[in-house]
Amino acid sequence: MLSENTYWTSITKKAFYIAISIISIIAAIKLAMFYMPFLVAFVISLMMEPAIKKLMEKFKISRRVSSIIMFIIVFGTILGLLVWGIATIVSEASNLLSGFNEYYEKINNQIQNLIKSINFEKLNISNQLTQIFQDTISSLVQRLSIYLQSFLTQLIKFVTSIPTIAIYFAVTILALYFICTDKIYMIDELEHHLPEKWVKEIAIHLKQLTKTLGGYLKAQATLILISFTISLVGLYIMSFAGLNVGFPLLIALGIGFVDALPILGSGAVMIPWAIISGLNGDITLGISIIVLLIIMSFTRQFIEPKIVSGNIGIHPIFTIIAMYTGFKLIGVLGMFVGPILLIILKNVFSDFIDNGILKSIFGTES
């Protein structure tokens, strides 16, 4: 009887540990979203760290001086890109909204013409089903147009809310400065105020997460930035060449957004765009888009093995499940958060997973 009680006490403790860990991780992610400027500053500081150390070694200067030099360079770059980005986004989004009805009618008519060109009689599909199919497509296009209009309106409101942008920018820059210059002091304070056992446990988990999650995020961010840059340059070249590319930055952002989603890629946007352009009679634009996609794909395939040094050890089906779960819980943002949370959980519960989760909980007695 005593042995049975000990067994169930052990199981209860393990289940309680897992529940508390999951709640803590979810709470940490929510706090990270709330304190996003500090998280952004921390990520940028990690990217700056190798350059700071290299300056220190090469010119034999202190960490503070090296950090200030790198901070000035990064600050100027971010400020310049922010000003250019806001001005360009507002201009392109405003122009798109002003002619939105015209673009919607063109796309809708093109889709309807494509549907009419299909010989449904040879497919033995009744007129009633054909009409339902056409109405469904029209409804889908209309809903997408409404969503896009709402998104563009909200985007303009956000980028033109100068006080909000200024506060986010100021907090991020200040946090970045202090993280870079006072990193050693912050680590010492953390070790001073936390129990030694906690510090060791945190250090172990942080090292594991930095190696897997940090490496994964850095690699994905680099690949997305490369795809965005290539698409932006390519689209501007098309625009300057007189092709029908009216909103290069917005389109490049859309391509980067889709490319950021696990499993999907830039082809999910560019292939349909090329097909629609070709069907609309603009063969040159369609071919140009395909060529740009090929360049992006080859560049990514060449660079990806060098950037992504290892596999995160998660099967694509679980990544898709994590994306879908995140989407159902918190919307589009969940498609990014879901896989990240999955990687964190895999690392935190690596011992349980390696031994078999149910076996680890129920298989042994204490």
- The per-residue pLDDT for range 63-99, each reduced to its tens digit, is 888 889 999 998 899 889 888 888 888 888 888 888 7
Residue 90's SS3 state is helix
pLDDT tens track for 270-302: 888 888 788 777 889 989 999 999 998 888 777
**Mean pLDDT score of the chain:** 79
pLDDT at 154: 81
Query: DSSP 3-state helix, strand, coil percentages of the chain (rounded to 5)?
Result: 85, 0, 15
Rounded average pLDDT over 184-209: 72
Residue percentage of the chain with pLDDT more than 90: 7
Q: What are phi and psi of 167, to 5 degrees?
A: -65, -50
Q: Looking at residue 33, what is its pLDDT?
A: 78
Quick check: 202 and 283 in contact, CB under 8 A?
no
- Contact partners, residue 286, CB within 8 Å, separation at least 6: 274, 275, 277, 278
Q: Of 191, 169, 198, nearest to 24 (Cα)?
A: 198
3-class SS of residue 184 = helix
The C-alpha angle 276, 332, 26, rounded to 5 degrees, equals 160
With a cut of 50, say whether residue 333 has pLDDT above it.
Answer: yes
Please tell me which residue, 138 or 36, carries the higher pLDDT value.
36
CA 232 to CA 229: how far, in whole Å?
5
Mean pLDDT, residues 110-122 taken together = 69
| pTM to 2 decimal places | 0.67
pLDDT of residue 262: 60
| DSSP one-letter code for 211 | I
E runs forming strands in the chain: none
Token pair belonging to 239: 């625009």
Structure tokens at 137: 């497509």
Residue in the block written with tokens 């709402």: 150
What pLDDT sits at residue 1? Answer: 53
Task: Provide Rg for the chain, Cα atoms.
Answer: 26
Q: Report which of residues 255 and 15 the model is more confident about.
A: 255
Decide if pLDDT at 366 tops 50. Answer: no
**What interhelical angle do 36-59 and 162-181 show, nearest 10?**
40
Other beta carbons within 10 angstroms of residue 348's beta carbon come to 18
What's the whole-number mean pLDDT along residues 222-243?
A: 88
CA torsion through residues 48, 53, 56, 58, sign? negative
CB atoms within 10 A of CB 87: 12
Burial class (CB in 10 A: 0-12, 13-18, 19+), 261: middle
6 near 365, Cβ under 8 Å?
A: yes
Say if residue 203's pLDDT is above 80. Answer: no
| Token couple for 11 | 């199981």
Distance CA 333, CA 29 (A): 12
Name the least confident of 28-42, 138-152, 352-366.
352-366
8-12, 31-35, 223-227, 323-327: segment of lowest average pLDDT: 8-12
Contact between residue 362 and residue 239 where contact means Cβ atoms under 8 Å apart: no
